[in-house]
Each structure stands twice: as structure tokens, then as C-alpha cells.
Amino acid sequence: MKAQMPIDFWFDFSSPYGYLMSEKIDALAARYGRAVRWHPILLGVIFQATGARPPVDGASSRASYMHNDFHRSARHMGIPYKPPSRFPLPTQHAARAFYWLQEQDAVLARQFAHAVYRAFFVDDRDISSPDTVLDIAARLGIDRAALAAALQDAALKARLKDACDQALALGVFGSPHVIIDGEPFFGADRLPQIERWLESGGF
Amino acid sequence: MKAQMPIDFWFDFSSPYGYLMSEKIDALAARYGRAVRWHPILLGVIFQATGARPPVDGASSRASYMHNDFHRSARHMGIPYKPPSRFPLPTQHAARAFYWLQEQDAVLARQFAHAVYRAFFVDDRDISSPDTVLDIAARLGIDRAALAAALQDAALKARLKDACDQALALGVFGSPHVIIDGEPFFGADRLPQIERWLESGGF
């Protein structure tokens, strides 16, 4: 039996469909003997590099459709969701904190990522604030002062920038973007195709 | 038991996801006692009015993803699909022919719509050409000369323009766009949510 490559999960902490994917991808992958590597990125950087406009822009009919679809899709998937009062938000502090934790404790980093997503999409907290990010970390037993210092570190900022560059090089253009053995799947609504791909090795 | 309103299905004949929806929506609706009203529109008109850019634009990573996803989604749904060599195409002649037929024979109009979609997405025919549209119609026994004359008719052109205006007024911003009792569903990938909505009257 050949070794199974991990799945890569690219996402922005401000992405509702990224949140929905985050609640499902690990358990799904595990059923097929796969690990998942999580990679927070900044959609602002991706959109600027690709020349794309954000999918949710102001008061357009598309934007109002999408706000309704976020909520309906969450209900469809059985995932708690409360529309955040401020949306979207910048997420560089949360993403940097994730990469800092990842180097120390991958399990804790995963718990932190879930906690950030739920803070934003269930508890309506302002995850753009460094204080909120530190509060979330502290509740998981993470050293608040050490993380606060790390968030100022140039090497950590470069780590997030590298992740965005790597995403662009792989053709990532939005969130969530899941890559399985080179095959890309964009959107939480591709979960049924992801499952079929994992089951059959392609179709 | 209250009367069930028909479902509205808005689409462009050049939309791959519209084609995928067209192969499924009637049978799905019928299982829940619903009729479907088909409304071809022109995405060019919709995008111009809403200020949106086409989702598939040139050689971007998004565009190459989408071409792969069209094909993979068709396989996932068990629908024949061959990537057209020219894409997208203008579809005003096909749409006008549909509305002309619709006033005479709704069943024949539905057969014609399926034939146009399959000509484009299975047989790689240039459905932007009036001759191709007339050929497709003639093979269904439709009077070619009468349709050719009708395609020049100002009233028929106005009928398609009215459909696009009506779509915009309803918040349609892409293809396919299905509306059930006021609830909008965008994309062929929303079929599972559509089925659940039909089954439960909302969720």
C-alpha cells in the first residue's frame, strides 16, 4: 500500500466557506487515512496579486445572495453560524499566531485555528484585533506574553508572506482551496467531490 | 394541500454549470410535484448591468481551475461533457429561438433547449451561429424558415431583453440561478440544498 500524501487546506480566517470546510476536512480526511496540513493565508494578498475582486462587495445582489448562502450552507452542513457584525476582517495576526504555534505544537495550533474561526463565525468577536487573538490563545493555555512578542517578529511576518507566495504559486485564488495529490478543489461545496476523490483516487 | 408554485430556472446557453443544472432540475422538481419555468438570459447583459467580471477570464489560475471543475463536476453528476473549443459564446439567437418556440409549444421548447446545450457541451458545435440554431431546430421538426424570420423580429428581441431585465430585478447575477418560492440558489453545486428545500419547504 503506497504512502498517502497529506491534503493541503488553504484558507483565510475571515472566509465563511473556509470556516465551514475547517469543521469537516480533518474528519473526512481521517476516514481515508489522510492527514491535513492547514495553511492560513490572506485573501487580500491573493486578490491583489491575481487582480480579482472580493466575492462579497458591498450591497450588490451577489453580496446579499452570498450572506444568505453562508448561513443556509452552514445549516445544511449542521455547523453553528452567526453572521459576524463586521465582515470581512483583516486576519494577519491570527494567521501569524497560527504559524508560530505550528512550529511548537501542531495539535495546539489546530485547536487555536478552530477557536479563531468559531470566535468570528459563532461568537461575533473581532478577530482582527491582536488582543482578541491573544485572548483566544491564552484560553488554550498558550503563553500570552510570548505570543505577543512573536507577533512583532519580522521572521514570523515573513513566514505568512511566504505562505501567501506559495499559495499563489500553486494556483490558489480563493478560500477554501483544498489540494489532494495535485488536484485542486475550491469551496466548501466541493466536499462531496473531495470525498469521492479520496475514496476512488480520482474520477 | 396548497398549490405548489413553479420553480424558476435562469440560465445562459453558454454556461457550463447552467448545462449541468439543465440535465437535472426537471426530474428533481417533478419528484416534489413541481414544474420548472426555463428562462434563458444573456450573462453579458447581466455582467454589464451588475458591474461583474466574467468568472472565466483568460489564462488566470481561476480560469484554469474552472475549466477543470466543469469537466470534473460533469463526471461527478454523471453528465456527458466535452469542453467546447470556443468558449464562452454569444447566445442571443438560441435564447430568442427558445422564447419563440415557448409561445407555440412548451414541450418542444424544452427539447430545443436541451438540444442546444448538448450541441455546445457535448458535440462542440458553434451555437452562436444562427445557422446552427436553425439546424438544431429543424432536426426537431421545427419550421426552419419561420424561425429564421422570427429571429429578425423586433418583438422577439424585446422578449429576450425583458427576460434579462426581469432577471436583474429578481437579483439574478449569474447562471444557473434557481428560485424556489423566493429563495435563490446559485450554481449547479446547490442541487443538494435545492432538493432539501423542496423536501422540507425550507431549512
C-alpha cell at A182: 495535485
Residue A1 lies in a domain: no
Whether B203 sits inside 8 A of A75 (CB atoms) is: yes
A2 located within any domain: no
The 10 Å CB-count burial string (b at 16+, else e) for B69-94 is bbebbbebbebebeebeeebbbbbbb
A155, A100 Cβ separation under 8 angstroms: no
Q: Identify all chain A residues contacting B168, using CB atoms and an 8 Å cutoff.
A: 61
Query: CA distances (Å), A23 to each of A118, A126, A184, A197, in order?
Result: 10, 20, 19, 19
pLDDT value of residue B3: 62
Residues of A in Cβ contact (< 8 Å) with B73: 193
pLDDT for res A56: 76
Question: Which residues fall within 8 angstroms of residue A126, CB to CB, at 6 or more apart?
Answer: A86, A89, A132
pTM of the model: 0.96
Q: Does B172 touch chain A (CB under 8 A)?
A: yes
Please report whether residue A39 resides in a domain. Answer: yes
Distance of CA B81 to the CA centre of its chain: 15
Task: Please give the residue range of the domain that contains residue A34.
Answer: 7-200
Q: CB of A202 within 8 Å of any CB in chain B?
A: no
Q: What is the DSSP letter of A34?
A: -
For chain A, residues with pLDDT lower than 50 are: 1
Q: Do B190 and A189 touch (CB under 8 A)?
A: yes
Q: For residue B70, what is the nearest residue in chain A, using CA coordinates?
A: A185
> What is the structure's pLDDT at A2?
54
Chain-centroid distance, C-alpha A34: 18
pLDDT at res. B2: 54
Q: Between A and B, how many residue pairs show a Cβ–Cβ distance under 8 A?
A: 61
One DSSP character per residue, A41-107 reads --HHHHHHHHTPPPSS-TT-HHHHHHHHHHHHHHHHHT------SS-S---HHHHHHHHHHHTT-HH
Which residues on neighbouring strands pair with residue B11, listed in sequence order?
Answer: B40
Q: Is A72 on the interface with B (CB under 8 A)?
A: yes
A180 assigned to some structural domain: yes
- Please indicate whether, in this complex, the C-beta atoms of A65 and B203 are within 8 angstroms of each other: no
Whether B69 contacts chain A with CB within 8 A: yes
Structural domains counted in chain B: 1
- The answer as to whether B2 is a domain residue is no
Q: How much is the pLDDT for B1? A: 46
Q: Is residue B176 part of a domain?
A: yes
Global ipTM: 0.95
**Min Cα separation B201/chain A (Å):** 13
What is chain B's pLDDT, residue by residue, as a tens digit (203 residues)?
456 899 999 999 999 999 999 999 999 999 999 999 999 999 999 999 988 877 777 678 999 999 999 999 999 999 999 999 999 999 999 999 999 999 999 999 999 999 999 999 999 999 999 999 999 999 999 999 999 999 999 999 999 999 999 999 999 999 999 999 999 999 999 999 999 999 999 99
Cβ contacts of B56 on chain A, cutoff 8 Å: none
Domain assignment present for residue A92? The answer is yes
Residue A76 lies in a domain: yes
Candidates B62, B73, B168, B197: best to mutate against A (most CBs of A within 10 A) is B62
B203 touches chain A (CB under 8 A): yes
Can you give the CATH number for the domain in which B90 is found? 3.40.30.10
